[in-house]
Homo-oligomer: A and B are copies of this chain.
């Protein structure tokens, strides 16, 4: 059984402010929760589920020593952020870590400059996961990883791709990055460029890359289109196309 106070406490985690104060976040849905249980059980503070979920996964939950509370359908609906809540919700601990060693001279990653849509961020994390990019960098005004819609659209990929929020100039000097490319409407065609290493900056959905960020870039790359004067592409779509092209050339 889940107490009234617990319900209130979990509901408070629906807001970013409380997630930050408590350094916790919520993950929902059978698929995402099973991935966390299997790959990073230590991340789970407490798991709330219907009896049916417990029946199906009792052995795994026991083996991974997950603190589990069975709830009614009604209570799950109260603590869930989904319109149609799934069978299970995990209260998880946020993780933070220092930036690992990355050699930007023989690998590439992205820097997201003010991405606002949590669904876009989730999609970008899945793209990084697909192409083997293990660290993703974000400006401090990029949407929070722990936003429930982001965690939802990640499909567990956030367990394999680590996010680091920091100003671009700090990252560049910290990691001594030589090649910083802005993905822009004007630049060298990604099909023609021979580059496959460095940091690629992806701009905000509506406004592109901020001027102060552009000044830190020493190269501009572009996705050619069939017809000049086209609209820009969605930020996640642009990331996918560039990641695929650089991946293709580097393997």
Contact = CB atoms under 8 A, between A and B. Distances in A.
A251 B231 CA distance: 20
Contacts of A156: 231
Given A224-B251, A245-B244, A247-B226, A234 B131 contact: no
The oligomer's copy count stands at 2
Interface of A: 123, 126-127, 129-133, 155-157, 191, 223-227, 230-231, 233-234, 236-237, 240-241, 244-245, 247-248, 251
Given A132-B226, A251-B224, A126 B244 contact: no
A224 B244 CA distance: 9
A225 B191 CA distance: 19
Given A132-B226, A132-B227, A251-B224, A233 B191 contact: no
Contacts of A123: 234, 237
A126 B238 CA distance: 12
11 contacts: A126-B231, A126-B233, A155-B231, A157-B231, A223-B244, A224-B247, A224-B248, A224-B251, A236-B237, A244-B244, A245-B248
